A and B are shown apart, each in its own frame.
Chain A
Amino acid sequence: MMSSPTLECTNIDVRFGPVRALSDVSLSLERGQVHAILGQNGAGKSTLARALSGVLVPEAGTLQIAGRDVPFGSAAATQAAGLDIVHQRFALPPGFTVAEALEFASTRKMGGLFYSKRKVEAAWQARLDQAGITVPVSAVLSSLPVETAQAIEIARALVNDAQILILDEPTALLSPETIETLFAQLRQLRDAGVTLIVILHKLKEVMALADTVSILRQGELVLPATPTSELDEDRIRDLMIGGEPSNKAAAQTSVLASGQKDLLTFAHVSSPSKGPEPGLSDVSFSLCSGEILGVAGVEGNGQRALAEVYAGLTQAIAGTIMLQGAEIQNADISARRNAGLRSVPFDRMTEGASLTLPLWENAKSWMSEAFRGATFPFVSLRAMRTEAAAGLDNYGVVYSSVEQPGGTLSGGNLQRVILARELGGDVIAVLAAQPTRGLDFGATAFVWDELRRVRQDGAGVLLISSDLDELFDICDRILVMRGGAVAGVFANTATRAEIGHAMVGGRS
């Protein structure tokens, strides 16, 4: 099967200012295979995908598709050459209907400069039916479940006659069962001759799906395309981490002794839905002191509502929330924080901290007694800065000045700042929402260590995560959310299948 490689890129170099995102990456792929690009968060996988698909221009390197040179930086050029990409964050405007989005994004249009809605919708409906996707094309994208939206994104690329398809972290938002469906579809595509480049960061998924794999670590290609049959998990893991401490937890000792106190109790709590996000629907559970309770579920099934009701951003319309025996559902956000309820929000860049304000303002907890060193109502900036610096140093944040803006820190560092603020001081319960998303192994390990530390000190931790591996690794119990309700609470000895089932609800 010696044919010219279907895709060949050589010596790709990408820089963001002083940071080298990719150095000297070369890849050569044959037709009709599933190739996985594996690496930790921050290794450069998405950067490579964006360079290949024409979104960004590398400082150096060449690209050839089916033997022909393709210029960088032009999505149109790469699409014309047969290469297309399904981004991690979906590229189709969520406010559009399916038909409008496909019409907008495809190079093959169904209508002209002006089009008739009926004709265009009928044409796209036919195309989708052909591809086996049963969705009314007049549906608005944001109202569709994640896996359907993703299927449409893939369909868009295929309609453009893509011969090489890049998928950037396609499994990130899917439940175990829908992941299987996706893999089956990808295998079908491969058998039909499409070359697939799938970017993943989970070892198990790579072994299950890929024919060949290459590994990126800190921008460098530490393993060129190699058949997965020739590799074993340990070797791959070594190459991925490269001597960094493993984040595999020591054997889990459950801290749940008998007579464990209930710390935080939700009893029949309901909250209103907000747009596509479901509200809580008669949610009841208990968080015990000294435990980490994981919250699993496909994203968009009420986890955000849970976090917001916990923190006080959203008022519950029914039910009670008790903290150490006292009702708190009517308490406002700062009262809850004063009482010891802390949160590490979902989005560290917009909800957890400010990218534009200096570190000392981000590290300071805005509670009234915290302003000291001066006469009321004035505050002492110096005292605040000193205190912030102490907190930052305590948590190992790498910084040069407390005045530098939050946006100058890396993801992991910024998370440390947030943890310094939230976990410093008396903590009774912490809600951590997707705290390790986008972080590399080292930063992830730090977050886990911190969560374990507060558990050790007797606090309770609610860990919301869409990463089942993470949940199994560090949680004592796992609660599954589906449609805004609790679909089940499991011990950490449960099987993946059980949890996966609960996540999607009885689909066989």
Chain B
Amino acid sequence: MNRAHAALSAVFPIVLAIALSAVLFFVTGYDVGAVISGVIEGAVTGFGSFWQTLRWSMPLLLIAVGFLFCVRAGEFNIGGQGQMMMGGLGTIVVALLVPGPVCLVLPVAILAGMIFGGLWSFLPGVLKVKLGADEVIVTLMLNFIAVLFVSWITTGPLKDPAVRGETASTPTVDAALRLSSGDGMSVTLLVLIALAVAAAWLIAERTAFGLKLRYVGEAPEAARWQGMKADRLRLWAYVLAGAFAGLAGAFEVLGPNGRLVTGATPTIGFTAIVVTIVGLSRVPGIVLAALLFGGLQAAILFLPIVSDLPSSGLKILEGLIALLITAEFIRRRRGVG
């Protein structure tokens, strides 16, 4: 009964958000039917669509999985965006500047991504744990800072001279290091992601660390009395969150993008949070939710072909989902008094 109720509480707000958006689009004069069929075609049924959905689900999935650790610990680390970008930065630096055989440079590049991301998350963790600095604001600020910093890197030191125009970027990574071809997924990437997600699940659900983390998040006082080192556990949660987000950045750089780009997916961190909640803070659910939102992103890119709905329309849908997802539409059963 509990599981069914939980699933319903995740699905209903989404359905409601879709309905409200559909009404909005209809009222403002867009062809709702075209939009819906366009979304479905762009996400699932079109040629290569599902592969695109997977491609866009990947970063969401990894960031959301990392965010899950912080959620378990009761921390609201919304810095996934910045941690991913810094991870990408670390990866591109290694990929472009470190010489050596592929079998060495590749893992180091990925590792660099995880380390950079982990550090970018460790900072707000320390500020929160030691100084009580509100992690929501600090991680938010670090997101902005990361965006600016990467923007400088891609227009300055690591600028690709061949690229003109608005999107600044670094030169492309050597083809041998690429995990997947341009703008797409590959089996290699898929396998790596599956491994990462499996590892996250094991850590969260089957290790003493994961169980203690949950205890610290749910009952911090009791955790302290029982000897758990709450501060240390929380810091590790931050580091893990950053490492996974950094991994997402690494995969973006070594995979679909092949380079470090500015201005790519500016709200991905926030979407990842919604993914975690829609996934009911459980890894299997997060996988499904990531597919949903990845599909939506794929649809956003496909939609201009079949409809004149601006992309901000689907952004409205995402905002509505976030707004409604934690509301209790069904009254919870009153527990024992």
Interface residues in A169-184 (C-beta closer than 8 Å to B): none
Are B336 and A313 closer than 8 Å at their CB atoms?
Answer: no
Given A332-B227, A353-B222, is A18 in contact with B211 using a C-beta cutoff of 8 Å? no
Are B222 and A17 closer than 8 Å at their CB atoms?
Answer: no
Residue among B209, B222, B226 making CB contact with A337, cutoff 8 Å:
B226
Are A16 and B336 closer than 8 Å at their CB atoms?
Answer: yes
Which of B90-98, B179-187, B212-220 lies at the interface with chain A?
A: B212-220
Given A17-B335, A17-B337, is A337 in contact with B227 using a C-beta cutoff of 8 Å? yes
Q: Mark A306-348, 1 if CB is under 8 A from B, else 0.
A: 0000011100000000000000000011101100000101010
Minimum Cβ distance to chain A for residue B279 (Å): 19
Which of B52-60, B200-208, B267-275, B311-319 lies at the interface with chain A?
A: B200-208
Q: Mark B308-337, 1 if CB is under 8 A from A, else 0.
A: 000000000000000000000000001111
- Of all chain A residues, the one with the shortest Cβ separation from B207 is A377
Are A343 and B222 closer than 8 Å at their CB atoms?
Answer: no
A1 CB-CB contact with B under 8 Å: no
Give A341 to B214 CA distance when docked, in angstroms: 24
Are B226 and A356 closer than 8 Å at their CB atoms?
Answer: no
B5 CB-CB contact with A under 8 Å: no
Minimum Cβ distance to chain A for residue B240 (Å): 14
A378 CB-CB contact with B under 8 Å: yes
Are A366 and B215 closer than 8 Å at their CB atoms?
Answer: yes
Minimum Cβ distance to chain B for residue A97 (Å): 26
Give A322 to B334 CA distance when docked, in angstroms: 48
A408 CB-CB contact with B under 8 Å: yes
Are A313 and B225 closer than 8 Å at their CB atoms?
Answer: yes
In this complex, the member of A21, A345, A368 whose beta carbon has the largest number of chain B beta carbons within 10 angstroms is A345
Give A353 to B219 CA distance when docked, in angstroms: 7
A379 CB-CB contact with B under 8 Å: yes
Minimum Cβ distance to chain B for residue A45 (Å): 15
A244 CB-CB contact with B under 8 Å: no
Minimum Cβ distance to chain A for residue B275 (Å): 23
Are A16 and B212 closer than 8 Å at their CB atoms?
Answer: no
Q: Mark B276-313, 1 if CB is under 8 A from A, else 0.
A: 00000000000000000000000000000000000000
| Majority secondary structure of chain B interface residues (helix, strand, loop or mixed) | helix
Are A361 and B211 closer than 8 Å at their CB atoms?
Answer: yes
Residue among A16, A334, A351 making CB contact with B227, cutoff 8 Å:
A334
Are A361 and B222 closer than 8 Å at their CB atoms?
Answer: no
A367 CB-CB contact with B under 8 Å: yes
B221 CB-CB contact with A under 8 Å: yes
Are B225 and A21 closer than 8 Å at their CB atoms?
Answer: no
A247 CB-CB contact with B under 8 Å: no
Are B221 and A356 closer than 8 Å at their CB atoms?
Answer: no
Q: Mark A346-365, 1 if CB is under 8 A from B, else 0.
A: 01001111111100010001
Are B226 and A313 closer than 8 Å at their CB atoms?
Answer: no
Interface residues in A294-308 (C-beta closer than 8 Å to B): none
- Of all chain B residues, the one with the shortest Cβ separation from A347 is B221
Chain A residues lying within 8 Å of B211, measured Cβ to Cβ, are 361, 379
Are B335 and A408 closer than 8 Å at their CB atoms?
Answer: yes
Are A352 and B222 closer than 8 Å at their CB atoms?
Answer: yes
A407 CB-CB contact with B under 8 Å: yes
Are B335 and A371 closer than 8 Å at their CB atoms?
Answer: no
B138 CB-CB contact with A under 8 Å: no
Give A108 to B202 CA distance when docked, in angstroms: 61
Give A347 to B335 CA distance when docked, in angstroms: 20
Chain B residues lying within 8 Å of A357, measured Cβ to Cβ, are 214-215, 218-219
Chain A residues lying within 8 Å of B202, measured Cβ to Cβ, are 378
- Of all chain B residues, the one with the shortest Cβ separation from A364 is B211
Give A347 to B220 CA distance when docked, in angstroms: 13
Minimum Cβ distance to chain A for residue B233 (Å): 11
Chain A residues lying within 8 Å of B336, measured Cβ to Cβ, are 16-19, 408
Minimum Cβ distance to chain B for residue A42 (Å): 11
Give A189 to B209 CA distance when docked, in angstroms: 59
Given A371-B208, A379-B211, is A345 in contact with B227 using a C-beta cutoff of 8 Å? no
A381 CB-CB contact with B under 8 Å: yes
Given A19-B336, A378-B207, A379-B211, is A351 in contact with B225 using a C-beta cutoff of 8 Å? yes
- Of all chain B residues, the one with the shortest Cβ separation from A313 is B224
Give A18 to B333 CA distance when docked, in angstroms: 12
Are B337 and A354 closer than 8 Å at their CB atoms?
Answer: no
Give A331 to B184 CA distance when docked, in angstroms: 55
B140 CB-CB contact with A under 8 Å: no
Are A381 and B218 closer than 8 Å at their CB atoms?
Answer: no
B228 CB-CB contact with A under 8 Å: yes
Give A275 to B271 CA distance when docked, in angstroms: 41
Minimum Cβ distance to chain A for residue B227 (Å): 3
Give A505 to B337 CA distance when docked, in angstroms: 41
Minimum Cβ distance to chain B for residue A426 (Å): 15
Give A17 to B209 CA distance when docked, in angstroms: 37
Chain B residues lying within 8 Å of A365, measured Cβ to Cβ, are 226
Are B224 and A333 closer than 8 Å at their CB atoms?
Answer: yes
Are A379 and B219 closer than 8 Å at their CB atoms?
Answer: no
Chain B residues lying within 8 Å of A366, measured Cβ to Cβ, are 208, 212, 215, 226-228
Give A337 to B223 CA distance when docked, in angstroms: 13
Give A355 to B221 CA distance when docked, in angstroms: 12
Minimum Cβ distance to chain B for residue A389 (Å): 17
- Of all chain B residues, the one with the shortest Cβ separation from A357 is B218
Are B224 and A19 closer than 8 Å at their CB atoms?
Answer: no
- Of all chain A residues, the one with the shortest Cβ separation from B333 is A17
Chain B residues lying within 8 Å of A407, measured Cβ to Cβ, are 335
Residue among A332, A345, A367, A371 making CB contact with B225, cutoff 8 Å:
A345
Are B219 and A356 closer than 8 Å at their CB atoms?
Answer: yes
Are A367 and B215 closer than 8 Å at their CB atoms?
Answer: no
Give A63 to B335 CA distance when docked, in angstroms: 28
Given A379-B208, A379-B211, is A333 in contact with B219 using a C-beta cutoff of 8 Å? no
Are A352 and B337 closer than 8 Å at their CB atoms?
Answer: no
Minimum Cβ distance to chain A for residue B185 (Å): 30
Are A354 and B219 closer than 8 Å at their CB atoms?
Answer: yes
Give A311 to B212 CA distance when docked, in angstroms: 19
Minimum Cβ distance to chain B for residue A388 (Å): 12
Give A379 to B213 CA distance when docked, in angstroms: 14
Give A194 to B206 CA distance when docked, in angstroms: 63
Chain B residues lying within 8 Å of A355, measured Cβ to Cβ, are 219
- Of all chain B residues, the one with the shortest Cβ separation from A367 is B227
Residue contacts A-B, CB under 8 angstroms, 18 given: A16-B337, A313-B225, A333-B225, A334-B227, A334-B228, A336-B227, A350-B219, A350-B222, A355-B219, A357-B215, A361-B214, A365-B226, A366-B215, A367-B227, A377-B208, A378-B207, A379-B207, A408-B336
Since A313-B225, A334-B229 are in contact, a sample of 7 more A-B pairs with Cβ atoms closer than 8 Å, ordered by chain A residue number, is A313-B224, A350-B221, A354-B222, A356-B218, A357-B215, A367-B227, A379-B208
Q: Which A residues are within 8 Å of any B CB, using their own CB? A: 16-19, 21, 311-313, 332-334, 336-337, 343, 345, 347, 350-357, 361, 365-368, 371, 377-379, 381, 407-408
Q: Which 10 A-B pairs have the closest CB atoms?
A: A16-B337, A334-B227, A354-B219, A333-B227, A351-B221, A378-B206, A350-B221, A354-B218, A337-B227, A345-B225
